C-alpha cells in the first residue's frame, strides 16, 4: 500500500487534467479486473480438468474455458485502448496548459535558467507524467488487485500455498522500495540531461549564421556528442538499476517455488491435499507471484514518471504574471504618464534606477537618451510593466499603474524593440500579432504607414509570404518596419521605440526616422536611444545618467547647456552638426 500511495502523491497537481478522463480509466480498470477474474476462472477449471472423475471429458467445462480465454483477450484489448485514449487526451491538455504558462511566466523566470530545461518539461516530462498517471499508476492498482484475487483463489484450494506467497510478499516490496529510491535519484539526473540536449539543439537552430561564419559546426557537434554521451551514461545507470530489480525479485520467487514444491510433496504424501487442488493452488500462487514481481518492476520503472510529474508540477506551481484582465477595460490617458521617484534593482545587484522622475505628456515626442548600460532598457521594462518598481511608483493621470488591469495598461503602448523578434510565419501574421483579429484592411493600412509597401510588392506572395525563422528572410531595416506595422495595427496611444536605429546605417536610419515620423502623427512617442542623431526627432529629450534623469529639455537647449547631453554629443562626433 505504501508503494501505491507514493505513486499517487506526486500526481496530485495533475489531477485537474486527469479528472475528465476518469470514465475511460475506470472502464480500462474494469476491463483489467475482468481479465483477472477470467484467469481465476481458468484456474478453477484447471482443477476440474485434473480431477479423475472428470478426466477432461466435460465439453461444457472446455467451452467455458474457451469463453474465459476470449474474455481475457478482449479485456486486454479494451484496457489498452482506453488507457491509450485517456493518456493521449491528457497529454494534449497538459501541453496546452504548460505552453500557456510559459507565455505567462515572469521574464525573470524565463531568463533565470536555460530555456531548454523548460522545453524538456513540456515536450519530454509532460508526456511521461501523463502516461504514468493514466497507465503506470492504474497498472499498479491492477497488479495489486490481481495478486489479491489470485491469492484468494490459491487459498480456496490450499491455504498453506497462499500463505507462503503472503509471507514472501513483504520481501518483494522491500526490493521494490530499495531499487525505486536508486532509480528516482538517477532519473532526476536524466531529466537534467534531457534539458541540456534540448538547449543545445535550440542553440544550434537559433544561430546558424554565426556557427557557419565562425566554422563552429564541428565544435558544436563535439559539444552535442559529449551531451549525448552523458545522456547515454545516465540512461545506462538507470538501466542497471532496473535490470537488477527483476533478478532480485526472481531469486525470491525461485526460492518460493522450491518451498512450495517441498511443502506440496509432504502434503500430498500425507493425503492432506489432492494433486489437482495443489496444482490449482500452485498455478494461482504462481500467477499472484508474477503480479507481485510485476509490481516490483513497475515501481522501479515508475520513478521516471514520478520525477517527470514532479518537474511538471513545479512548472504548474510557478508564480505567473498578474492576470491580464479583460481587453474591454481601458486605462485612462488624458494628460500624462509619470515616473515618480522610481527605483529598481535586480536581485543581488546594485540599483539600476535611483529615483527616476519624469512626465510623458499626451501627444509629445520624447527621446530618452543615455550611455549603454545606463538603465534605459530597465526603465522601458517598468513602463510596460514587465517588471515592477522596487521603490516609487508609475502612474497615469495620477492613478497608480498597479491598480489597473495589466491588459488595459499594456494596451496603451505599441512596442518596437531593437530586436524585431519576428515569428516564423507570414508577414501578415507577424503584423496581426499586434491585434488579434485585425482585418486585412487594418493590416494593409499599418503596413503602408510603416513604409512596407515597396517590400510587399516585391514579395512573391505579398503579405502572405513567410519571413523565415526569426524573420531572417528580411533585412534589419525591413524587420524594423514589420515591427513598426505590428505596433501600429494595435492602435496604441503611446508608440515606444527601443534603440530601433542602433544597427542601421545612416541611409537606413533616415528612412526609419521618416517612417517613425509618419507613424507617430497623432500619437505620443517615446524614443529610447543612445544615438543622438535619432534623438533629434523628439520635441523633448530626457538624459538618463546614474539611474536618474539628470537633464530634460529641447535638444538644442540641452546642447547649449554644456551638460550631459553635450558630452554625449561630443563623444559621438557631433552628429548633425
Beta-sheet strand order (sheet of 399-400): 353-361, 336-344, 391-396, 399-400
Write out the DSSP string of 160-186. Answer: HHHHHHHHHHHHHHHHHHHHHHHHHHH
Say yes or no to pLDDT of 9 above 60: yes
**pLDDT, greater one: 178 or 28:** 28
Percent of the chain exceeding pLDDT 70 equals 80
Out of 26-35, 254-263, 393-402, which region has the weakest mean confidence (pLDDT)?
254-263
Comparing CA positions, the residue from 555, 546, 547 lying closest to residue 575 is 555
Out of 136-140, 350-354, 426-430, which region has the weakest mean confidence (pLDDT)?
136-140
Handedness of CA 456, 461, 466, 468 (dihedral sign): negative
Q: Are strands 540-545 and 524-529 parallel, antiparallel or unpaired?
A: unpaired
Comparing CA positions, the residue from 496, 514, 522 lying closest to residue 451 is 514
Out of 215-224, 248-257, 524-533, which region has the weakest mean confidence (pLDDT)?
248-257
**pLDDT, greater one: 556 or 139:** 556
Q: What is the mean pLDDT of residues 482-495?
A: 87
Confidence at residue 3, expressed as pLDDT on a 0 to 100 scale: 47
* pLDDT digits 0-9 by tens, 68-110: 888 888 888 887 888 788 888 888 888 888 888 888 887 777 7
Distance, in Å, from the CA atom of 322 to the CA atom of 196, rounded to the nearest integer, reads 30
**pLDDT, greater one: 51 or 280:** 280
Q: 185 CB contacts (<8 Å, ≥6 apart)?
A: none
Sequence-separated contacts (24+) of 358-364 with Cβ below 8 Å: 358/542, 358/549, 358/552, 360/336, 360/494, 360/524, 360/526, 361/335, 361/336, 361/524, 362/333, 362/334, 362/335, 362/336, 362/493, 362/524, 363/522, 363/523, 363/524, 364/524, 364/525, 364/539, 364/540
Q: Please state, rounded to an integer, the average pLDDT across all residues of the chain.
A: 78
Say yes or no to pLDDT of 159 above 90: no
Q: Are strands 391-396 and 365-369 parallel, antiparallel or unpaired?
A: unpaired
Q: What is the mean pLDDT of residues 46-54?
A: 62
* pLDDT digits 0-9 by tens, 490-532: 888 898 988 877 777 777 777 777 878 887 788 899 998 888 8
Out of 40-49, 74-83, 176-185, 245-254, which region has the weakest mean confidence (pLDDT)?
245-254
Q: What is the mean pLDDT of residues 421-434?
A: 84
Q: How many helices (H) and strands (E) does the chain have?
A: 22, 10
Distance, in Å, from the CA atom of 513 to the CA atom of 504, rounded to the nearest integer, reads 11
Confidence at residue 246, expressed as pLDDT on a 0 to 100 scale: 56
Burial track 399-427 (b if 16+ CB lie within 10 A, e otherwise): eebeebbbbbbbbbbbbbbbbbebeeebb
Confidence at residue 547, expressed as pLDDT on a 0 to 100 scale: 86
**pLDDT, greater one: 335 or 144:** 335
Cβ atoms 533, 577 nearer than 8 A: no
Burial track 98-123 (b if 16+ CB lie within 10 A, e otherwise): beebbeebbeebeeeeebbbbbbbbe
Distance, in Å, from the CA atom of 318 to the CA atom of 362, rounded to the nearest integer, reads 38
Confidence at residue 361, expressed as pLDDT on a 0 to 100 scale: 92
Confidence at residue 391, expressed as pLDDT on a 0 to 100 scale: 92
**Which of the four pLDDT bands, split at 50, 70 and 90, describes residue 194?**
confident
In DSSP terms, 361 is beta-bridged to 336
* pLDDT digits 0-9 by tens, 363-380: 999 999 988 777 888 898
Distance, in Å, from the CA atom of 32 to the CA atom of 72, rounded to the nearest integer, reads 9
Q: Are strands 494-498 and 540-545 parallel, antiparallel or unpaired?
A: unpaired
Cβ atoms 447, 463 nearer than 8 A: yes
* pLDDT digits 0-9 by tens, 402-424: 888 888 888 889 888 877 778 77
**Which of the four pLDDT bands, split at 50, 70 and 90, describes residue 114?**
confident
DSSP state of 336: E
Confidence at residue 365, expressed as pLDDT on a 0 to 100 scale: 92
Q: What SS3 string covers 361-430?
A: ECCCEEEEECCCCCCHHHHHHHHCCCCCCCEEEEEECCEEHHHCCHHHHHCCEEEECCCCCCCCCEHHHH
Percent of the chain exceeding pLDDT 90 equals 7
Confidence at residue 1, expressed as pLDDT on a 0 to 100 scale: 47
* pLDDT digits 0-9 by tens, 252-277: 656 666 666 666 666 666 667 677 77
Range among 147-156, 184-193, 537-546 rated most confident: 537-546
Q: What is the mean pLDDT of residues 285-310?
A: 74
CB-based burial of residue 202 (10 Å sphere; 0-12 exposed, 13-18 middle, 19+ buried)? middle
Residue ranges of domains in the chain, CATH in brackets: 2-317 (1.20.1560.10), 336-571 (3.40.50.300)
Distance, in Å, from the CA atom of 475 to the CA atom of 467, rounded to the nearest integer, reads 10
Amino acid at each position: 500500500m505504501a508503494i501505491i500511495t507514493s505513486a499517487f502523491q506526486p500526481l496530485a497537481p495533475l489531477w485537474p487534467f486527469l479528472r475528465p478522463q476518469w470514465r475511460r480509466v475506470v472502464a480500462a480498470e474494469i476491463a483489467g479486473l475482468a481479465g483477472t477474474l477470467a484467469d481465476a476462472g481458468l484456474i478453477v477449471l484447471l482443477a476440474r480438468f485434473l480431477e479423475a472423475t472428470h478426466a477432461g471429458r466435460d465439453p461444457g467445462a472446455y467451452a467455458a474455458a474457451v469463453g474465459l480465454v476470449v474474455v481475457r483477450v478482449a479485456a486486454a484489448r479494451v484496457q489498452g485502448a482506453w488507457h491509450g485514449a485517456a493518456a493521449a487526451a491528457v497529454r494534449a491538455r497538459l501541453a496546452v496548459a504548460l505552453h500557456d504558462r510559459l507565455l505567462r511566466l515572469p521574464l525573470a523566470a524565463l531568463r533565470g535558467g536555460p530555456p531548454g530545461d523548460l522545453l524538456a518539461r513540456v515536450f519530454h516530462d509532460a508526456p511521461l507524467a501523463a502516461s504514468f498517471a493514466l497507465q503506470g499508476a492504474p497498472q499498479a492498482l491492477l497488479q495489486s488487485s490481481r495478486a489479491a484475487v489470485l491469492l484468494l483463489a490459491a487459498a480456496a484450494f490450499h491455504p498453506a500455498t497462499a500463505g507462503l506467497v503472503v509471507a514472501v510478499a513483504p520481501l518483494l516490496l522491500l526490493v521494490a522500495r530499495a531499487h525505486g529510491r536508486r532509480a528516482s535519484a538517477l532519473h532526476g539526473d536524466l531529466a537534467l540531461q534531457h534539458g541540456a540536449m534540448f538547449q543545445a539543439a535550440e542553440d544550434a537552430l537559433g544561430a546558424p549564421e554565426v556557427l557557419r561564419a565562425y566554422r563552429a559546426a564541428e565544435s558544436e557537434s563535439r559539444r552535442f556528442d559529449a551531451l549525448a554521451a552523458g545522456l547515454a551514461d545516465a540512461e545506462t545507470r538507470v538501466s542497471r538499476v532496473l535490470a537488477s530489480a527483476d533478478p532480485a525479485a526472481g531469486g525470491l520467487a525461485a526460492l518460493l517455488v522450491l518451498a512450495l514444491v517441498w511443502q506440496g510433496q509432504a502434503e500430498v504424501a500425507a493425503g492432506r491435499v489432492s494433486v489437482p487442488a495443489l496444482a490449482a493452488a500452485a498455478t494461482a500462487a504462481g500467477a499472484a507471484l508474477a503480479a507481485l514481481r510485476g509490481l516490483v518492476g513497475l515501481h522501479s520503472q515508475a520513478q521516471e514518471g514520478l520525477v517527470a510529474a514532479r518537474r511538471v508540477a513545479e512548472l504548474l506551481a510557478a508564480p505567473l504574471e498578474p492576470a491580464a484582465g479583460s481587453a474591454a477595460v481601458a486605462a485612462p490617458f488624458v494628460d500624462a504618464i509619470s515616473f515618480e521617484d522610481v527605483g529598481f534593482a535586480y536581485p543581488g545587484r546594485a540599483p539600476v534606477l535611483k529615483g527616476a522622475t519624469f512626465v510623458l505628456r499626451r501627444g509629445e515626442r520624447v527621446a530618452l537618451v543615455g550611455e549603454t548600460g545606463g538603465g534605459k532598457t530597465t526603465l522601458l521594462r517598468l513602463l510596460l510593466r514587465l517588471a515592477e518598481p522596487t521603490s516609487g511608483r508609475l502612474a497615469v493621470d495620477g492613478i497608480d499603474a498597479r491598480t489597473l488591469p495589466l491588459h488595459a495598461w499594456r494596451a496603451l503602448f505599441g512596442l518596437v524593440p531593437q530586436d524585431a523578434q519576428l515569428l516564423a510565419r507570414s508577414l501578415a501574421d507577424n503584423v496581426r500579432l499586434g491585434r488579434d483579429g485585425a482585418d486585412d484592411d487594418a493590416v494593409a493600412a499599418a503596413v503602408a504607414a510603416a513604409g512596407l509597401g515597396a517590400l510587399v510588392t516585391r514579395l512573391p506572395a505579398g503579405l502572405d509570404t513567410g519571413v523565415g525563422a526569426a524573420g531572417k528572410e528580411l533585412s534589419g531595416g525591413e524587420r524594423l518596419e514589420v515591427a513598426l506595422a505590428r505596433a501600429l495595427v494595435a492602435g496604441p496611444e503611446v508608440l515606444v521605440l527601443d534603440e530601433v536605429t542602433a544597427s542601421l546605417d545612416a541611409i537606413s536610419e533616415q528612412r526609419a526616422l521618416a517612417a517613425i515620423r509618419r507613424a507617430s502623427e497623432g500619437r505620443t512617442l517615446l524614443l529610447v536611444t543612445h544615438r543622438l542623431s535619432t534623438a533629434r526627432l523628439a520635441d523633448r529629450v530626457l538624459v538618463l545618467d546614474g539611474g536618474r534623469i539628470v537633464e530634460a529639455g529641447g535638444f538644442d537647449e540641452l546642447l547649449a547647456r554644456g551638460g550631459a547631453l553635450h558630452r554625449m554629443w561630443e563623444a559621438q562626433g557631433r552628429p548633425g552638426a
